[in-house]
Amino acid sequence: MRAVSLHPDVIVVTSRVWQTTSTILRGPGAASPEAFVVDSPIYPDELEVLPALMEQAGFAFSGLLCTHGDWDHLLARLTFADAALGCAESTAARLAAEPGAAARGLREFDDGHYVTRPRPLALGAVQALPVPGRCEVGDGELQLHPAVGHTVDGMAITIPWAGVLVVGDYLSPVEIPTFASGSASEYLATLRRLRPLVAASEHVVPGHGHVLDAARALEVLDADEAYLSGLLDGDVDTPLPRGARSSTQRRHHAENVAACAPPA
């Protein structure tokens, strides 16, 4: 796992697997009494180091946030077992409708990668947040924006005093758009909502991949928008964004084409 400071109040850690990111943020200024962990790294040793990393940085942990309800973004509960999990109302509804799904997803991953954990994943208290809306942290406010399409739920988070935008599983430099439980049209609408937020940010944190500056994030957004527009127009040969050529991304593309195909 690697950690990078984007601002005195923002640290991003990146897991060794899938380049999954977690953003650690505190309210404005070193005296802030509150700090949140957004999303999570994946491996047990990465999760275990989060409290020490926050202590070293002078961040006082106060709660968890997640951008959406996929299991690989929920694992900070394994470290901060007593903390409430703040999420969009759409994510709270998804988690309530899919009891045990996150734990099953983690168990399947662990079985396939020979990972042993000290305890199973339990989500505990979930706090539904209105989106669009705001969330106080210390003397500052996070801005919460709807981000559905990749999944049926989710939110992006602006940290305005730091110039940082956390977008969840959008704008990834290492993955093409996928929408197994969402839709291409909703994904495209989210990209269009994100555009002005990206342009106004200094750093953009995707759920998977390295942190982007605004110019690079807009390039990724343009490529993803063109790709999704092609799919929705029925162009099965639309170029994959960023020239992705791995077998995994080709498989995702085939799934996307099938999902966008008109009914027989």
Structural domains of the chain, with CATH: 2-260 (3.60.15.10)
Per the DSSP assignment, residues forming a β-bridge with 20 are 208
This prediction has a pTM of 0.94
**Using one digit for the tens of pLDDT, what is the confidence trace for 232-254?**
988 878 888 876 678 888 888 88
**Using one digit for the tens of pLDDT, what is the confidence trace for 97-106?**
999 999 999 9
Q: Is the dihedral of CA 89, 152, 46, 111 positive or negative?
A: positive
What pLDDT band is residue 260 in, cutting at 50, 70 and 90?
A: confident
Whole-number CA gyration radius for the chain: 18
**Backbone angles phi and psi of 214, in degrees to 5:** -60, -40
